[in-house]
């Protein structure tokens, strides 16, 4: 027995600072239609897929910052994506900057949504915000996610979608095993994520030459240890002078990469994913209910930082 769903990754090349939302959406639509032609049921777009990766710039004027955020979804610029999703019978994951004015408080989130057949199925707000909040004028670019975004308040969600269970996370979340585990504990068979990863970290260049390796290592480990397909989609290439990692991929529950982008531009890759493979691994090697020993894992939620060793003689 098999349960095949064809998944696509819709990698984007750079987005210019002055590129309009309409122009980016036209690029996304082209990728979506191409993926449909390749048999895809759903396509995963990058993190902050509607704009340049603006946290690389220090802005003092809040209006300059807020121009990068969406106040509603869909909105006139993004509605064509929802219409195409309905027309093509397809789903998509889209990352964008969200300005939420609910409860009388303005909040800024690094957000992704899962849409199927024109309807929002799920929303996620990024939990692990990397970088810094202070201005570092000596650096060639900034990474101000800690300044421009609030920590996500929706948790790591998973939803019934695409004949299986799909979960979402965003970029830096993929480096943290807790992300995948919380999704795995909801039975996620597909994990969708988008990323913007500079290949050079000015204040921590020691691992620059391994950025591609660490990208895939994290996602392959998360896929294997949680018996899920992972679709990771880059915004790639040189954007506003900053080189962004490519390497968009689709990973099987075995941990193997089964589709890999070969360019640093707009590109679609697809893979036929048998979700029964995910179920099989969840019932054997990674049968959580049978093998996890939760009374031994307390430290994971008791402390964020390391504590004194607790080993016994
Ligand atoms: N967008 C994002 O989360 N990027 C980070 C790089 C942060 S470097 C300060 C990543 O983990 O890929």
Residue partners of 39: CB distance under 8 A and separation at least 6: 6, 270, 272
Helices (H), the chain: 21-37, 62-66, 79-88, 145-148, 177-184, 211-225, 275-283, 288-291, 299-302
pLDDT score recorded for residue 307:
97
Residue 19 has pLDDT above 90, yes or no: yes
Distance from C-alpha of 49 to C-alpha of 209, rounded to nearest angstrom: 25
Show the beta-strand stretches assigned E in 45-187: 91-100, 107-116, 119-125, 158-161, 164-170
Q: How far is the CA of 258 from the centre of ligand 1 (A)?
A: 24
| Interval 45-55 mean pLDDT | 98
pLDDT score recorded for residue 243:
98
Q: How far is the CA of 136 from the centre of ligand 1 (A)?
A: 16
Residue partners of 143: CB distance under 8 A and separation at least 6: 55, 56, 130, 131, 132, 198, 201
Residue from 124, 146, 196 whose mutation best tests the ligand 1 pocket (most atoms within 8 A of CB)? 196
Q: Whose CA is nearest to atom 6 of ligand 1?
A: 197
Q: How far is the CA of 4 from the centre of ligand 1 (A)?
A: 32
| Interval 235-261 mean pLDDT | 98
Q: How far is the CA of 113 from the centre of ligand 1 (A)?
A: 19
**pLDDT for 112-165, tens place per residue?**
999 999 999 999 999 999 999 999 999 999 999 999 999 999 999 999 999 999
pLDDT score recorded for residue 257:
99
What is the atom index within ligand 1 of the atom nearest the CA of 55? 1
**pLDDT for 157-206, tens place per residue?**
999 999 999 999 999 999 999 999 999 999 999 999 999 999 999 999 99
| Interval 46-60 mean pLDDT | 98
Q: How far is the CA of 65 from the centre of ligand 1 (A)?
A: 19
Catalytic positions, written as ranges? 47, 126, 171
Q: What is the mean pLDDT of the chain?
A: 97
Q: Whose CA is nearest to atom 1 of ligand 1?
A: 196
**pLDDT for 271-295, tens place per residue?**
999 999 999 999 999 999 999 999 9
Percent of the chain residues past pLDDT 90, beyond the cut: 99
Residue from 49, 125, 149, 197 whose mutation best tests the ligand 1 pocket (most atoms within 8 A of CB)? 197
pLDDT score recorded for residue 104:
86
Which band of pLDDT confidence, cut at 50, 70 and 90, is reported for residue 92?
very high
pLDDT score recorded for residue 103:
80
Which band of pLDDT confidence, cut at 50, 70 and 90, is reported for residue 234?
very high
> What residues flank ligand 1, with Cβ below 6 Å?
47, 130-131, 143, 171-172, 175, 195-197, 201
For residue 228, the tally of other CB atoms under 10 A from its CB is 32
Residue 102 has pLDDT above 90, yes or no: no
| Interval 22-34 mean pLDDT | 98
Q: Whose CA is nearest to atom 4 of ligand 1?
A: 197
What is the atom index within ligand 1 of the atom nearest the CA of 175? 11
Q: How far is the CA of 183 from the centre of ligand 1 (A)?
A: 20
What is the atom index within ligand 1 of the atom nearest the CA of 48? 1
Percent of the chain residues past pLDDT 70, beyond the cut: 100
Residue 80 has pLDDT above 90, yes or no: yes
Q: Whose CA is nearest to atom 9 of ligand 1?
A: 131
Token output for 189: 């068979």
């Amino acid at each position: 027995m098999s349960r095949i769903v064809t998944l696509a990754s819709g990698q984007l090349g750079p987005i210019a600072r002055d590129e309009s939302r309409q122009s980016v959406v036209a690029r996304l639509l082209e990728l979506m239609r191409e993926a449909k032609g390749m048999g895809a049921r759903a396509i995963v777009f990058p993190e902050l897929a509607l704009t340049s990766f603006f946290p690389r710039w220090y802005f003092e004027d809040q209006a300059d910052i807020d121009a990068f955020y969406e106040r509603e979804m869909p909105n006139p610029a993004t509605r064509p994506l929802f219409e195409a999703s309905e027309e093509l019978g397809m789903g998509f994951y889209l990352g964008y900057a969200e300005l939420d004015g609910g409860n009388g408080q303005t909040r800024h989130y690094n957000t992704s949504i899962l849409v199927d057949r024109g309807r929002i199925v799920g929303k996620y707000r990024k939990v692990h915000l990397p970088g810094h909040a202070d201005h570092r004028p000596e650096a060639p670019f900034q990474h101000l996610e800690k300044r421009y975004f609030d920590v996500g308040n929706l948790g790591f969600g998973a939803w019934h979608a695409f004949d299986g269970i799909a979960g979402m996370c965003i970029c830096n979340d993929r480096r943290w095993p807790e992300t995948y585990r919380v999704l795995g504990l909801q039975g996620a068979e597909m994990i969708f994520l988008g990323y913007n990863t500079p290949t050079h970290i000015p204040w921590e260049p020691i691992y620059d030459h391994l950025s591609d390796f660490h990208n895939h290592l994290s996602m392959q480990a998360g896929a294997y240890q949680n018996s899920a397909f992972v679709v990771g989609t880059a915004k790639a290439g040189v954007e506003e002078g900053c080189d962004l990692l490519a390497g968009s991929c689709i990973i099987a529950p075995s941990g193997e990469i089964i589709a890999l982008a070969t360019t640093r531009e707009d590109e679609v890759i697809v893979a036929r994913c048998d979700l029964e493979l995910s179920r099989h691994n969840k019932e054997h090697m990674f049968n959580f209910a049978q093998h996890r020993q939760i009374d031994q894992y307390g430290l994971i939620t008791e402390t964020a930082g390391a504590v004194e060793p607790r080993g016994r003689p």
